Structure 1
């Protein structure tokens, strides 16, 4: 009887171990699938135009972006379109009870029609004083990149403008170790030639 119990327990342990291995293999496979869907961009070969540099500087000030732990502010050294194609603009529920953002829902079609104009650009440090850049080779959305082991950084996606460049939406993500981090869409409007922040929507995607 003892031998039978021992064999039964051994079989159970082996079964659970087998299930655990299969689950881990599936998770790794899913992880690779996710990476395959994220790493879609080649390293940009076009430098951002001066208008984008000016916008990024203003955006950093308006959104009060600062380095965690009082270190040097670091941002991704390239701008690429939003992974989610700014589809937040099609979800009316995000704009409920946000009267300051109603204009974006009203002009969502105009904004979405301009997605093709969201280019891939690289940035230069000398044009963003006081800001450090994470090289493209270390960014997870650039093909053949390696792991970044440096300080926390912000990924600012290429801003989406409406036709007359009076409205803009920017997706920004904070990448850092531990439990910190987050992402949000920031909405801006230009009045009398100057960009102002209308609000933001924090989002979580499964």
Structure 2
């Protein structure tokens, strides 16, 4: 029997990289033509966070919460669970995060923030193209509100627009997911493995430097 220190991370991978990316292809086929609508919705969320009314920004926050809930079903439960035994637990964590973000958006409407808007646009518009740059076909693109990684990264936009104490319970799950996703991609020798962890570190750095706060004082929660 081999000693434990002889194992590498790749020895614990439960599936082949080809199998992993095939799950995204199957999911995109199943949900087509929803993807263009989700990209458009992401653009509207970014616009609302930039210069929208109080109601629009609240709806944008709820939209980011929904973007966590849909991948829990569309990918983690329906696809990833077939190749990873922990996927149902991941799905439960995504649903919990969706509830945390929804409560945060409802109780404390995010203030207008260009940074939050640009953050969402990066996750919505740029992330699907990263896979193509890595040599994967568009059919395997990771789309906002369907794939976990761009959805998790976009969710940071809502957290950056809140006071630290209000958003604190909603930070652990996206940080943990970005670390886990990065480790998974690293074991598959994917060049883009650094993207989710770097996004998480950038969010933390932005928060700690104070740049993630809104340009103006936090707005009081509007009546429902």
**TM-score after normalising by structure 2:** 0.26
Larger Rg: 1
Decide which structure has greater strand share: 1
Decide which structure has greater helix share: 2
**TM-score after normalising by structure 1:** 0.27
